[in-house]
Amino acid sequence: MHYNWDWGVFFHSTGIGSEIYLDWFVKGLGWTIALSLAGWVIALLLGTVLGVMRTLPGKVLPRIAAVYVEIFRNIPLLVQLFVWYFIVPDLLPEGLQTWFKQDLNPATSAFISVVLCLGLFTAARVCEQVRTGIQALPKGQTNAAYALGLRIPQIYKEVLLPQAFRIIIPPLTSEFLNIFKNSSVASLIGLMELLAQTKQTAEFTANLFEAFTLATIIYFVLNMGLMLFMRWVEKRVRVPGLIALGGK
Amino acid sequence: MKKLLPLCLAMSAVFATSAQAEELTGTLKKIKETGTIVIGHRDSSIPFSYLDASQKPVGYSMDLSAKIVDAVKKELKMPSLVVRYNLVTSQTRIPLVQNGTVDVECGSTTNNLERQKQVAFSVGIFEIGTRLLVKKTSGIKDFADLAGKNVVTTAGTTSERLIKKMNDEKKLNMNIISAKDHGESFLMLESGRAVAFMMDDALLAGEMAKAKAPNDWTIVGKPQSYEVYGCMLRKDDAQFKKLVDTALSNTYKSGEINTIYKRWFQSPVPPKGLNLNFPMSDELQELIAKPTDKSAEQM
């Protein structure tokens, strides 16, 4: 293959102000982290609420949560993003629509769409894990809590969720890493996160392989770091002997 | 040098018949051995290279690539040469030419210095100016009117680089949106997220022709750059490049280029049967009169 390698390309000037291409990667990484963390907050909060709803007694609430999960889990992420970015704003009232599309900085409106999209999509997955975590606990936990006279909110807050979360830390770690990788869909609506900056560098320099190699390394290192962090969290919160699955 | 090139090309045409005696190398050797030539094409570069209603690649650049195929058939004496079409995107086109998946890519690829480090270009097949597509009622006449506004351009294009640079140097405070392809850029414009779309004028005419109400739109502004499109070939393959350049130059010299141009820029084109009404620019006429494989910045 006739390829002209040039690893120094990241230090070349972009021709815009005094920027070098490496600056683009740094900026892109910043957006990627901001998008993912904001999305993760939504996913974790909403996912927990939905997960609890799925395990509640009665029919209506569990069913609502189940429908939510099926909708958000079965539609491709990219399709959801286009819905949030292109279709939902058009359904807003006139004034709000103009504000969202024209007055807001385009990067801000794209950011809002991506965070909503990632957060709501991942919430469906977090919901299922929270549900599994709760259902993995022996039935006796709930019954004992009832016998002690706890109300339902107390049962979840004091008994079920603290144990369930400890059980599901490993799969939650996967979701946490996934949201960072999934945030790359933002590049398709013009938000200059890591993948968008990589593509731009590749196009501007024609040094495609160097650009994508650097992006691969950045994603890998970032995700390794997050994984080690989550492992540390898992160890920190472990309660020895309390959960057969979680303890040694 | 500018004057010498057509002469060289004419001479190479004369000697083309004797080329068969030469040993085949590079791409021509590969084509001879496999009995197949692979043409790279795009899916939405209207009217250069895009898919028609039956999903067949068509367009101005595809007609020119057919001329190249004819020349290869003649040169290799292979009338039943198989022509395979391979879809490329702006991200895949360079590596696919380099790694041998695609033998020649004719689309809307700008010949520039960065790309010349990776691939070779044929003589230019088109020349564009980078301008703005705006709503007629917007009152925008030129780039200076864009201060403080949202402007969209397609990611990875020269327009993106130019407008970001202009924004930085002239402190225009524009918000620049980089959409993933021309179709999405136009969607941003049509849905009111941006007031102007900066791109190659010929492609803007193509997008305008696709609009719900083509008459609402107009192309304005002084061109910020001129760019030459070329067909991409593998580097250091003089034999194949000579054949490609000769095939294109002959099409220019015979005047057949005018028929091809009229077909795609001044007549109704698929898929919607719209006419781009885009007369040939002085720059393109100049390029056709004096074919060159230089990029615009080298001319």
Rounded distance between C-alpha atoms, residue B295 and residue B30, angstroms: 28
B139 contacts: CB under 8 Å, gap ≥ 6:
B145
The predicted pLDDT at position A246 comes to 43
B155 CA: distance to closest CA in chain A (Å) = 7
CA distances from B231 to B9, B26, B110, B121, B241 (A): 17, 17, 9, 6, 10
Would you call B234 an interface residue with chain A, using a CB distance cutoff of 8 Å?
Answer: yes
CB-CB neighbors (< 8 A) of A17 in chain B: 168
Rounded distance between C-alpha atoms, residue A92 and residue B174, angstroms: 25
CB-CB neighbors (< 8 A) of B90 in chain A: 203
B15 contacts: CB under 8 Å, gap ≥ 6:
none
Do the domain assignments include residue A228?
A: no
Which range marks the domain in which residue A153 is found? 24-194
CB-CB neighbors (< 8 A) of A199 in chain B: 91, 155-156
Which domains are delineated in chain B?
4-125+230-298 (3.40.190.10), 130-226 (3.40.190.10)
pLDDT > 60? residue B19: no
Q: What is the CATH number of the domain that holds A40?
A: 1.10.3720.10
Do the domain assignments include residue A207?
A: no
Average pLDDT rounded to a whole number, residues B45-51: 92
The predicted pLDDT at position A247 comes to 40
**Which residue in chain A is spatially nearest to B153 when comparing CA positions?**
A190
Rounded distance between C-alpha atoms, residue B202 and residue B48, angstroms: 9
ipTM confidence: 0.79
Mean pLDDT of chain A: 93
Would you call B72 an interface residue with chain A, using a CB distance cutoff of 8 Å?
Answer: no
Average pLDDT rounded to a whole number, residues B95-104: 95
Average pLDDT rounded to a whole number, residues B220-228: 95
Under the banding of pLDDT at 50, 70 and 90, the label for residue B299 is confident
Q: What percent of chain A has pLDDT over 70?
A: 97
The predicted pLDDT at position B225 comes to 92
The predicted pLDDT at position B5 comes to 59
Under the banding of pLDDT at 50, 70 and 90, the label for residue B210 is confident
**Which residue in chain A is spatially nearest to B155 when comparing CA positions?**
A200
Do the domain assignments include residue A89?
A: yes
A30 contacts: CB under 8 Å, gap ≥ 6:
none
CB-CB neighbors (< 8 A) of A98 in chain B: 192
pLDDT digits (tens, 9 = 90+) for B118-176: 999 999 999 999 999 999 999 999 999 999 999 999 988 889 989 999 999 999 999 99
The predicted pLDDT at position B231 comes to 98
Would you call A187 an interface residue with chain B, using a CB distance cutoff of 8 Å?
Answer: yes
CB-CB neighbors (< 8 A) of A202 in chain B: 91, 156
pLDDT digits (tens, 9 = 90+) for B266-296: 999 987 888 999 999 999 999 999 999 999 9
CB-CB neighbors (< 8 A) of A15 in chain B: 161, 165
Do the domain assignments include residue A200?
A: no
Average pLDDT rounded to a whole number, residues B17-27: 71
CB-CB neighbors (< 8 A) of B161 in chain A: 15-16, 204
The predicted pLDDT at position B218 comes to 95
Q: Distance from first CA to last CA of chain A, Å, rounded? A: 52
For B156, the closest of A16, A106, A200 (CB atoms) is A200
Average pLDDT rounded to a whole number, residues B189-202: 94
Contact B160 A200 (CB under 8 A): yes
The predicted pLDDT at position A3 comes to 86
The predicted pLDDT at position A2 comes to 75
Interface of A with B in 152-171 (CB under 8 A): none
pLDDT > 60? residue B14: no
Would you call B175 an interface residue with chain A, using a CB distance cutoff of 8 Å?
Answer: yes
Residue B152, φ and ψ in degrees, nearest 5? -110, 145
For A208, the closest of B94, B164, B179 (CB atoms) is B94
C-alpha angle B256/B121/A190, rounded to 5°?
105
Q: Which of B193, B224, B236 to mutate to test the interface with A (most CBs of A within 10 A)?
A: B193
Would you call A107 an interface residue with chain B, using a CB distance cutoff of 8 Å?
Answer: yes
Distance between alpha carbon A189 and the CA centroid of its chain, in Å?
17
The predicted pLDDT at position B155 comes to 87
pLDDT digits (tens, 9 = 90+) for A100-135: 988 899 999 999 999 999 999 999 999 999 999 999
Count structural domains, chain A. 1
Do the domain assignments include residue A220?
A: no
Would you call B161 an interface residue with chain A, using a CB distance cutoff of 8 Å?
Answer: yes
Average pLDDT rounded to a whole number, residues B34-44: 94
Would you call A109 an interface residue with chain B, using a CB distance cutoff of 8 Å?
Answer: yes
Helices (H), ranges, chain A: 21-55, 60-74, 77-82, 88-91, 94-98, 106-136, 139-147, 152-154, 161-167, 169-182, 194-205, 208-237
For B150, the closest of A90, A102, A196 (CB atoms) is A102
Contact A15 B177 (CB under 8 A): no
Rounded distance between C-alpha atoms, residue B96 and residue B234, angstroms: 10
Length of chain A: 248
- Counted across chains A and B, CB pairs separated by less than 8 A come out at 88
pLDDT digits (tens, 9 = 90+) for B58-85: 999 999 999 999 999 999 999 999 999 9
CA distances from B58 to A34, B65, B105 (A): 43, 10, 13
Do the domain assignments include residue A240?
A: no
B84 CA: distance to closest CA in chain A (Å) = 21
For B161, the closest of A4, A15, A101 (CB atoms) is A15
Give every residue of chain A whose pLDDT is below 50, as ranges: 245-248
For B165, the closest of A6, A15, A190 (CB atoms) is A15
Do the domain assignments include residue A199?
A: no
The token pair that represents B77 in the structure block: 């004496």
Contact A196 B178 (CB under 8 A): yes
B38 strand-pairing partners: B84
Would you call B33 an interface residue with chain A, using a CB distance cutoff of 8 Å?
Answer: no
